[in-house]
Structure formats: C-alpha cells, structure tokens
Amino acid sequence: MKIEKTVVIIKHDGVARGLMGQIIKRFERAGLKLVALEFLQSSTDMGAAHYVANEKWLKTVGNRTLEDYKTKGLDPMVQLGTDDPIRIGTIIREWLIEYMAYGPVLAMVWEGPGAVSIVRKLIGDTRPAMALPGTIRGDFGLDSPDLANSQKRPMYNLIHASGEILEAEQEMELWFDKSEIIDYKTYSNHYTGVEKKMTKDKKPS
Amino acid sequence: MEKFPSIEKTFVMIKPDGVKRGLIGEIFSRFERIGLKLVAARMIIATEEQARNNYPGTDEWLINLGEKTHSNYNNDLAAIEADMGITDKLKIGHKIHDSLVKYLTDGPIIISVWEGNHAVQVVRKLAGKTDPTLADVGSIRGDFGFDTPQFAVKSGRIVFRTLVHISDSPSEAEREIKHWFGEKYEYLGEYDRIDYTGMFEMW
C-alpha cells in the first residue's frame, strides 16, 4: 500500500461543539500521522476553490439528496423547486461555500498507508443519520439531507475529507504551503506498516 | 468577552513526545471538554533559536536549574559527578538549557492558545505537576507519563519529558503567544462553544 497524504477539515460544527480532540484521537489511534495543522478562519473564496464545481461532483451531491427524498417519500420539486441532480448539487454547493467561512475551522493533513480511504472509512457516511456507529459521524451526528435542505443549509457532518488522491493533492495545495507539511517519524511508525520492521539495536527516532 | 474580566488566554505547546506518541487528540479533548475555547493553533518545527529563547537563559535562571539538580540529588556531589560529569551549578544549568532546546526541536510541536474562565490556572490544573510521577491521576502528565529527572539523566536526555508546556501566568502567556506565533498570530475566538453558552447567560 502506498503512503498517501489526505486533507481533513474539521468544519465549524466540530469546532463549536468541542469535538476536535475526539476526532484527532481517532486518526491517531488508527496509526495515521498528523503532518500539518492550522486553525484558521476561511473565506467564501477559499470555499469556492475548495468545492470545485465539476459536473460529476455536483451530480453525486444532487443524487444523494434525491435518493434520500425517495426513501422518505419527499418530492424534490416541492422541497427545492427542481429534480435535476446538477441543479440540486449547485444549490448545496452554495450553502457549503458559505458554511466554510461561517467560523474558524481546523485544517489538517494526515499521512499513512492508504490514508485517503482509511480516513473516509473512519469518518463514515456523508449523512450522519445513516453513518454506522463507530464512525465519527455515526457517533457524533444525526443530521440528514432532508432536514438540512428544509432549513436551507448544508448538512452538519463535522468533517470534510479528500475523496481521492488527486483531490487530496489539490486540496493540500489550496490549504497549505509546502513548507507547512512536516516530515517526521512517530514512535509507532514501525508497527503501522510505515517501516519494515523494528530491530533491537534500532530504536525508533 | 470584555464584560468577564476573569476570561483569560493561555499558551499551550504539545511537545514532540506528545506528538510522536499520538496524544494530540487526547490532550485537545481534555481542554475542550472542560469548556476551554481554541483561539489559535498550528503545527510547526521549532527553530533552535525559538526553542532557546523560550527560556530566560540568564545566569540567575541557569544557576537555579543547577540548584534544582543539586537538591534532586540531595547534594550528593559524587553522584552528580557520576551521572552528569560536572557539578558546577552554572555549567549544569547550561547543559540543561541545551537539552531543553534539543527536546523541543526533536520533532514537530503543536502550538495553541486556549481561552476561558481563569484559563491559565485551569490549564495548569489539567496538565498536572511538572514531574509526571508526582502529577495527580486525572491530569495529563499523571495519566500519560512516568518520567523523572533522575530517569532522564540516566537515559542521557537530561531533561524529562512532560508532554506539554503551559504558561505560568497571564503575562507569561502573552509573552509566549508573541514568541511562538509572532506575526502569524490571529485571534480566532469570535465564536461560541455552543455546549457551554449557558455559562455566559445572565439570569
């Protein structure tokens, strides 16, 4: 497995609810390594650059809402005035952009073997109400698309994490200067597959 | 927060041992759950100069460090000589200062500023006594450390690992925030810890 880096942003609901430590702890205990961290106030410009408006992503976001409405028997035309996934995705993107600048957020880069997918597994389903217990969103949230949409706001799901390696690279460039990403070894490197094996004469450094 | 004069800011550094042991989240959650609010934080590698100037470095301060060593050894000069190779208090002070610099630059650190009612005192209580073996159970150092001055000397580190550095007083906090964040300091405390808003309600 390749060593990857992935961007994790604890959004303002996680900050205001005092869950930063809980969230960091879960990545640490899984064996991931924190390589960059900054507590910052973002802007809507940053939000717009972060949530890139490509068709595939808008469609995914829109379809997620449509799927949720279907299981709950809600009519998207009544709720949002459209049943086009891309238009729904565009509406939600605007809310997300606005929310990213609502209050300070904690931006981080985590590193480890297969970090991108490991982080997504630990975080759980985008919709906290559907996320499994044991995942961050499943343990600390209960929001869902229908509730969020009816209040004309994005889902409060605590965290943003990169979806794939390419996205992680783009997001790292957006949120951090190269010099802010730190290379070092944790004491558990040897047991988390980052290094081959621990020998008696070689103390972890 | 101007109407609450007891609201203070305090500086907290998670030292390289805390970062490398994967205790950042554990330490952050202890401050969060008591109701403190994070107002600034970043991960950095301290420069040697930054680490050195974190301490006063005056002769008086250095000699005081030497004196503490003497008293830790119950003034047994032969034992001090055997462990450290020197007995002079000023020289010991310099050796400790150098080791402190080495400790703080041994890996990345998290620098942070926390705000809350009597934040300086509350954080001191949560961190526990400097010597982890004497720190109360339930404090960060009491729960996560067993290092002692003697153990540190025997293992060649000289200074013992304490996981966190915290401010002694509000004025020291101000100096340390300036020292560690410098130009990059931006106060981000204009938000509510929603689970603690009741603390600030007027009845």
What's the pLDDT score for residue A186? 87
Percentage of chain B surpassing pLDDT 70? 99
Domain boundary assignment for chain B: 1-14+33-45+108-189, 54-104
The mean pLDDT value of chain B amounts to: 94
What's the pLDDT score for residue A202? 53
The verdict on a CB contact (< 8 Å) between B28 and A38 is no
CATH fold of B1-14+33-45+108-189 reads Alpha-Beta Plaits (3.30.70)
Q: Is residue A190 part of a domain?
A: no
Tell me which residue in A18, A180, A187 faces B195 most closely, judged by beta carbons. A18
pLDDT band for position B199 (cuts 50, 70, 90): confident
The verdict on a CB contact (< 8 Å) between B41 and A24 is no
DSSP 3-state of B183: helix
Q: Which residue of B has its CA nearest to A24?
A: B25
User: Tens of pLDDT along A171-205?
Assistant: 999 999 999 999 998 887 767 666 665 555 555 54
CATH of the domain at A136: 3.30.70.141
Q: Is residue A198 part of a domain?
A: no
Interface mutation vs chain A, best among B42, B161, B190, B199, most A CBs within 10 Å: B42
User: A-B interface: how many C-beta pairs under 8 angstroms?
Assistant: 106
User: Tens of pLDDT along A37-67?
Assistant: 999 999 999 999 999 989 999 999 999 999 9
The mean pLDDT value of chain A amounts to: 92
The residue segments making up the domain with residue A77 are 3-180
Which amino acid appears at position A123 of this protein? Answer: I
Other C-beta atoms lying within 10 Å of the C-beta of residue B43: 22
Indicate the burial class of B66 (C-beta count within 10 angstroms; 0-12, 13-18, 19 or more): buried
Q: Is residue A144 part of a domain?
A: yes
Say yes or no to pLDDT of B61 above 80.
yes
Chain A CB contacts of B12 under 8 Å are none
Interface mutation vs chain B, best among A11, A33, A34, A119, most B CBs within 10 Å: A34
What's the pLDDT score for residue A196? 60
Q: Give me the mean pLDDT over the B59-64 stretch.
A: 96
Q: What is the ipTM of this complex?
A: 0.90
Say yes or no to pLDDT of B11 above 60.
yes
Name the domain count of chain A.
Answer: 1
What's the pLDDT score for residue A188? 78
**Among candidate residues B136, B159, B138, the one with its CA nearest the CA of residue B147:** B159
DSSP-assigned states of every residue in B86-128: ---HHHHHHHHHHHHHHHHTSS-EEEEEEEEETHHHHHHHHH-
The verdict on a CB contact (< 8 Å) between B40 and A39 is yes
Q: How far apart are CA B1 and CA A199, in angstroms?
A: 54
**Among candidate residues B124, B112, B86, the one with its CA nearest the CA of residue B25:** B112
Chain B CB contacts of A17 under 8 Å are 193-195
Angle B131-B43-B126 from CA coordinates, rounded to 5°: 35
User: Tens of pLDDT along A93-118?
Assistant: 999 999 999 999 999 999 999 999 99
Tell me which residue in A17, A22, A188 faces B195 most closely, judged by beta carbons. A17
What's the pLDDT score for residue B155? 86
Q: Is residue A156 part of a domain?
A: yes
Evaluated on CA atoms A133, A135, A136, A138, the torsion sign reads negative
Q: Is residue A135 part of a domain?
A: yes
pTM: 0.91
- Min distance A140 CA to chain B CA atoms (Å): 13
Q: How far apart are CA A34 and CA A27, in angstroms?
A: 8
Q: Is residue A57 part of a domain?
A: yes
Q: Is residue A196 part of a domain?
A: no
Highest mean pLDDT among A179-188, B119-128, B149-158: B119-128
